[in-house]
Structure 1
Amino acid sequence: MAHPDSDGGEFSLATKLTRFGVDVLKCEFILLGPLDQLVLPDIDLPQREDELWKTTCFELFLKYPESTAYREWNFAPTGKYASYWFEDYRSGMMPMLYDRMDIWPERTGNVRYRLNAYIQCSDIPTLLEGQVGLSTILEHRDGSKSYWAVSHPEGKPDFHHSDCFGTNLGAPSRA
């Protein structure tokens, strides 16, 4: 849902997490709406880059169980990505340079956009027992931004706030 203080316009957003094997997680974001109203840059060379959140960006937060530590992944429509570890709320930040990521953006006409991000990280099994936060920043062509999350804290948008870690996945079942 869009943050109450930002205009989400005619957009809707869905997300889905799928685990592959032990340490691979697929994070899928599907955006529906008038895409010509958004800043959606063309695909570029996939590489790590900081400050992706300054424009349209899809984000995944996973919190370690029984801890204040959490991980953040950012995925840009360009195919660029970033990954960080935090000791606590917005503190002790460390870039994670060794996560492997593949980003697959796909645009269907002017109404459907999908971004699939595949993350390979040895912490995935532990992180999936904790809480998850899924969020998106949409930069509109008029210069405004809308902030999307499963849940929002009071006040300004803050995806690092514990209220945004609204879902507990629990331990994965064994098939």
Structure 2
Amino acid sequence: MSHYYERDINAREAEKSALKGEIKKLKMELDENLLKVSQSTETIDNLKEKMSAMELNFKEQIKETKSSFQQTCVEREVVESFHNQLVEELQEQLVSQTEINKKWRAETKNITEQLERIITELKTANNKMKQENRALNERLKEANLKMFEYRKFLEMISQDVTKITTITLPESTGECAS
């Protein structure tokens, strides 16, 4: 029996030794896992810090973006308002210019009609004057012809008178001398 106990003790010693080896192995595994956990925890903490910093950065960027967007919206409203005002002014100017053009066209048409009427009247008067001028020229030609004929006649009479006086004058001069 002692043998049996010895065997049992040896078996227990071997089991104890195996269990100690197992415990040592498990402790090493536990230490490794604790190291891994602490590294993971540290990594997680670093990631949390980075995430917090990124979150703050994103919040600031969002704030800046919102502010920039609001400023852009305000600027756009100002530009739109200015643009609308310019468009209204240009439309008013266009309407005014259109009215001026209509008045100008009407006045031009009026003046053109008056000038055409005056031109027609002047042409009529000119034609009438041409006719009167032709008639006067005809009368002048006739008068010149008559005058020419009268001159001829007067020259003939003058020649006749000269002949008569030359014929009668020498006798008359002799009678006056006696």
Give the TM-score normalised by the residue count of structure 2.
Answer: 0.10
Q: Which has the larger radius of gyration?
A: 2
Give the TM-score normalised by the residue count of structure 1.
Answer: 0.10
Higher helix share: 2
Higher strand share: 1
Which structure carries more relative contact order (alpha carbon 8 Å, separation 6+)? 1
